[in-house]
Structure 1
Amino acid sequence: MSINHPSFGKLDDNRIIIFDTTLRDGEQSPGFSMNLTEKIRMAEALTELGVDVMEAGFAIASPGDFESVKAIAESVGQRDDTPVIASLARAGAQDVLRAADALRNAKRKRIHIVIATSDLHMKYKLRLEPDEVIAATVDSIKLARQHADDVEWSAEDATRSDPDFLARCVEAAIKAGATTINLPDTVGYALPEDMERMYAQIRARVPGIETVILSTHNHNDLGMGVANTLAAIRAGARQVETTINGIGERAGNASLEELVMAIRTRQDAMPYANNIQTTHLLRMSRLLATITGFDVQPNKAIVGRNAFAHEAGIHQDGVLKMAATYEIMTPESVGWTKNSLVLGKHSGRAAFRDKLNTLGYKIGDNQLNDAFRRFKDLADRKKVVFDEDVVALVDDEVMRDHERIRFVSLDLHAGSKGPARAELELEIDGKTRSASSEGNGPVDATFAAIQAIFPHTANLVLFSVGAVTEGTDAQAKTTVRLEENGKMVDGQGADADTIVASARAYVHALNKLLVKRLRTEPTALSA
């Protein structure tokens, strides 16, 4: 069986379309907001990763979201290898027209319309009767088709919807012109057998279903986002909606890296193809963690630092004799490298640039100069510079591009004989300001100095310190979480000096909070 799709042409039945919603559903996670520069950086990396559809945002949510979708459509969306650029819209004329305007300049564009179909959502959230939901579905899709050939329709809370009503909605959406039909498990309620049953029923009951792509979008509230996605594929879905690191509302979405590697590793059971360049997966994961300030847990599948680590003696013995005894995929296939002891204080700029290319970085000359300067300073203080050190250093440097507040310098006096004192310099909108503050220890004094230079009402709710690598000379990687009026952000910093890393993390969080203040949350936001 094959489908002729306006964005992809003729599609074979074994082809899986990878729809990434990191920039939309993923960014709705508490504390995960990104500024425009960070979103474009992620969009460029997702394009290189090979995603087929990139949901750039929810254009009507705020002026910032509109500008982000528009900027991605006008930059990444103009490339020869561009994915389809999508914007979410609720089933109303204003939403659809706003999405169409934001996507106007994209080479390949999709308007993604969502409306709830479960009795619970229709009664308490939408306050609409079933026939009104169908009417809104039809009207919004017809309007969207006037502005884009590629229109996706999503039945929010499909897995808790009445099967008869869901079938009526899908049939109406197809007749109105939808080219992709998405049946989300919005609240992560379903089991794999529920997914297979729902898709089988829709395929059997809806006329014209063979002319559209069926899509699946699964949340992870019960830990089954990837399992439910695989079940949907078995039942006929050929588009999967995922996020990097599985981020998203509440417990997150199905993880792109886990899903892609499950298909690649289990071709015997899942004989499907996709366009993802799997060697970019680790780099993609680390980039998102740097931008958002949220590291993945060590035992995260595929991209966690323990994913290919072996401590038990029997495992180590087996891996040394034959890696396949305990590794079902190679570390290199997802971007891990075996040899990380390469750079030192005698390494030059050419070697440093080559290392960055190996690690997947493409940065401008100014950023390279700043990163190389920090690398040489680090190499003077460390015995060995690991790949992880370079990643932390460069990410820390690059993610601060275009920030309003910048760390300049810090001098400390601390010890057991009196209060700690911090002498801090920050750059605020291009102007250097300084403050001297005391505190109960060097971290407290440093944060007090930041407060003195840039007064704010945010509360510190989390402060954590970790090491990038092993050893007493390891770089510190710190996380600071700030909360203001219910808005929460995480900032990260890395430096050989733990207190400097802490200051960088606090400043990073403040910058993200400034972005958060500009956002307005839309009503009835859906996934």
Structure 2
Amino acid sequence: MTSNHRYVRPATVDLPGRAWPGRTIDAAPRWLSTDLRDGNQSLVNPMTPDRKLAMFRLLVEMGFTEIEVGFPVASQDDHDFLRLLIERDLIPDDVRISVLVQARDELIRQTVESLAGARSATVHLYNATSPEFRRTVFGLSRSECKDLAVQGTRLFMKYADRTLAGCDLGFQYSPEMFADTEPEFALEVCEAVMDVWQPGPGRPITLNFPTTVERNTPNVFADQIEWLDRNLSRREHVCLSVHPHNDRGTGVASAELAVLAGAQRVEGCLFGNGERAGNVCLVTLALNLLTHGIDPGLDLSDLNRIRRTVEWCNEMPVHPRHPYGGDMVYTAFSGSHQDAIKKGFDVRARALDAGADPEQLRWEIPYLPLDPHDVGRTYESVVRINSQSGKGGVAYVLSSRQGLELPRDLRIEFAGTVQAAADALGREIAPDEVAAMFLEEYASPRFVTVPVAFRKPVPTVLHVQGDGFAVGAGRADALGDLEAHLASWGMQVHEVHRIGVSAADSRREDVVVYAECVIGQRRVWGVGTAADLDGAARAAVRAVITRALHGAGARRTPETRRWERAG
């Protein structure tokens, strides 16, 4: 029996003429990392000092200029880490640190004192404002709740005047549980706080609106933010910030829609660490911008190193399917996906071979919204092979590993072999295994010393990869004495095809020939490589004959049984 009747749908916002649905994001917001505070508070094992320092240095290297470094009154470790940063002068001049504190007298005083000596810092004051917290947790009326925020602001200003005269001091206020607070009351509290702080030219204020517990759809949060954007006074002196959580799994959407609605800053964590289902993932948000052609303002060019550092600091793994950063997000197993990816890379390779600038060439690869190279990943794991894979995946692996551009029918045939092996083994087939299987089967069979001549001419098509013959040349010009030599073996060359030039071709200095022969009722393939067309074609045809003698092809015929007896 369902229990949905026990849950109440949250209220929406009456916002006629909402503008955010028609807007687009054309610039990155300001970023604040809260990995060292909100993220750290959510860990089973809070970070040790060396892990905190590694995280701080990573954030600085990535380009964060606003970093929430802790909750100094929450623990001695947080206090000591803040003092370490200040006393060892570890904070770059362009980085503003932030610390969090509840709206309580003694806590505010201790927090301000912990910042002594800082060049640039923001104190982030908060108190919960939602009806549930006013009623259930604190037993406060609306006016009493607002007074906490007002008095907290006054106390901060009083203690800051005494202690932080030389600091470039900023102030941030958050109505905690904002997403569950009546919009008009959240506005009332923020206006009362601003009446005390008096924001103006050279004296801004950050008002931060968290989805402390995500309960509604992202469009409702966007409505809430646009409503505030319209109604806040002194708007030009307010940085409207958001702090989305991910309880409904829509933290990224909430952040992006909030930016459309007027938010200027986003708080979150690398890879979405945080209480319950986490904070919004700043890596995902930043790379979403990059894939829309917008500079995110963060350096994510070595995402593997960023991920390793975060995993070490948090002692938590990043999920293999995490957007952009997971081990498997650039990997395709599905045959249709693999085929589309390979064709996309082929088109790109042709453009590059024609002289296109790789820095200017648009990234248009099916199923890959981001070029893995842009975040320090390689193409090696883009396609991986298992029982779900098809000809496209097999072709991609052979192209990327061996520089082999297989004809379509050969791709189909070999894909069946690989799929059968994956089914039999019950596991993924590694790229090196795929390459070894192909070469063993088609290019390195046990050659017969002198091929046995066929009684009837064997129709033969040669697919040539490399510079073995000129495009447009006549068959006689292309093959020279080779055609007569193959005829002495019983091979009648009907067609010669040039396999298109690609980036894979340029990695090979030899010529590759794929010989396709129809022997009775069987189609048999062989592959040969050599420095020239003549040697590669002879090796390919020898491979065909040897494979035919050992039963390769759709089915055996009396002709092949005669060969076996002769052998």
Q: Which of 235, 240, 246 matches 1:220?
A: 246
Structure 2 residue 149 is the aligned partner of structure 1 residue 149 = no
CA deviation after TM superposition for structure 1 residue 206, in Å: 2.3
CA distance in 2, matches of 1:149, 1:143: 15
Distance across 1 between alignment mates of 2:320 and 2:368:
17
The corresponding residue for 2:368 is 327
Q: Distance in 2 between matches of 1:167 and 1:201?
A: 10
Q: Taking structure 1 as reference, are residues 202 and 39 closer, same or farther at Cα in structure 2, changes over 3 Å only?
A: same
Decide whether aligned partners of structure 1 residues 281 and 137 sit closer, same or farther in structure 2, where only a CA change above 3 A counts: farther
Distance of aligned partners of 1:213 and 1:184 in 2 relative to their CA distance in 1, 3 Å threshold? same
Shift of 1:128: 2.4
Root-mean-square deviation over aligned CA pairs: 2.2
1:244 maps onto 2:264 in alignment = no
1:64 to 61, 64, 77: 77
Question: What SS does structure 2 have at the residue aligned with 1:34?
Answer: coil
Question: Which of the pair is proportionally richer in strand?
Answer: 1
Unaligned runs of 5+ in 2: 1-24, 200-204, 346-364, 382-567
Q: 1:209 aligns with which of 235, 240, 263?
A: 235
Match of 2:324 in 1: 302
Match of 1:520 in 2: none
Residue identity opposite 1:326 in structure 2: Y
Q: 1:275 aligns with which of 297, 300, 312?
A: 297
- Distance between the aligned counterparts of 1:139 and 1:338, measured in 2? 57
Given residue 109 of structure 2, which amino acid in structure 1 is its aligned partner? L
Report the counterpart of residue 472 of structure 1 in structure 2.
none
1: CA distance, partners of 2:243 / 2:209: 7
Question: Aligned AA for 2:373?
Answer: E
Corresponding residue number in structure 2 for 1:128? 140
- Change over 3 Å in CA distance of 1:143–1:153 after alignment to 2: same
1:97 aligns with 2:109: yes
| Structure 1 CA distance for aligned equivalents of residues 264 and 316 of structure 2 | 30
Between 331-340 and 305-314, the greater mean CA deviation after superposition: 331-340
Paired with 1:311 and 1:153, the residues of 2 have a C-alpha distance of 48
Q: Which residue of structure 2 lines up, in the alignment, with residue 28 of structure 1? A: 41
How far apart are residue 275 of structure 1 and its match? 2.2
Task: Judge conservation of contact 1:70–1:102 (CA < 8 Å) in 2.
Answer: yes
Amino acid aligned to 1:188:
E
1:195 corresponds to 2:207: no
Q: What do residues 337-368 of structure 1 show as CA deviations (whole Å, max 9, x unaligned)?
A: 4579xxxxxxxxxxxxxxxxxxxxxxxxxxxx
Q: Aligned residues: percent identity?
A: 29
| Contact 1:219–1:252, Cα closer than 8 Å, also in 2 | yes
1:113–1:247 CA distance, 2 compared to 1 (3 A): same
Aligned-partner Cα distance in 2 for 1:186–1:67: 27
Structure ID, larger Rg: 2
Match of 1:79 in 2: 92
Distance 1:275 1:104, change over 3 A: farther
Looking at structure 2, the residues matched to 275 and 77 of structure 1 have their Cα atoms a distance apart, in angstroms, of: 22
In the superposition, relative to structure 1, how do residues 210 and 89 fare at CA in structure 2: closer, same or farther (>3 Å)?
A: same
Deviations, residues 217-249 of structure 1 (Å, cap 9, x unaligned): 011110011110011100000110010110100
Structure 2 residue identity aligned to 1:129: S
Aligned length: 324
**Offset of residue 105 of structure 1:** 2.6
**Offset from partner CA, 1:38-60 (integer Å, 9 cap, x none):** 10111011100111211111010
Structure 1 residues 284 and 105: CA distance shift in structure 2, 3 A? farther
Shift of 1:173: 2.0
Q: Which residue of 1 aligns with 2:62?
A: 49
Alpha-carbon separation, structure 1, partners of 2:367 and 2:71: 43
- Please give the alpha-carbon distance, in whole angstroms, between the structure 2 residues aligned to 1:260 and 1:254: 11
| Residue 32 of structure 1, CA deviation | 4.2
With over 3 angstroms needed to count, the CA separation of the structure-2 counterparts of 1:126 and 1:175, relative to structure 1, is same
Q: Which residue is 2:210 aligned to?
A: 184
* SS of residue paired to 2:37: coil
Aligned residues of 1:174 and 1:209 also touching (Cα < 8 A): no
Counterparts of 1:70-469 in structure 2, within 5 Å, are 70-75=83-88, 77-81=90-94, 83-145=95-157, 146=160, 147=164, 149-177=169-197, 179-267=205-293, 273-323=295-345, 324-338=365-379
CA distance in 2, matches of 1:49, 1:280: 10
Change (3 A) 1:304 1:76: farther
Q: Provide the rounded CA distance (Å) in 2 between the counterparts of 1:261 and 1:85.
A: 24
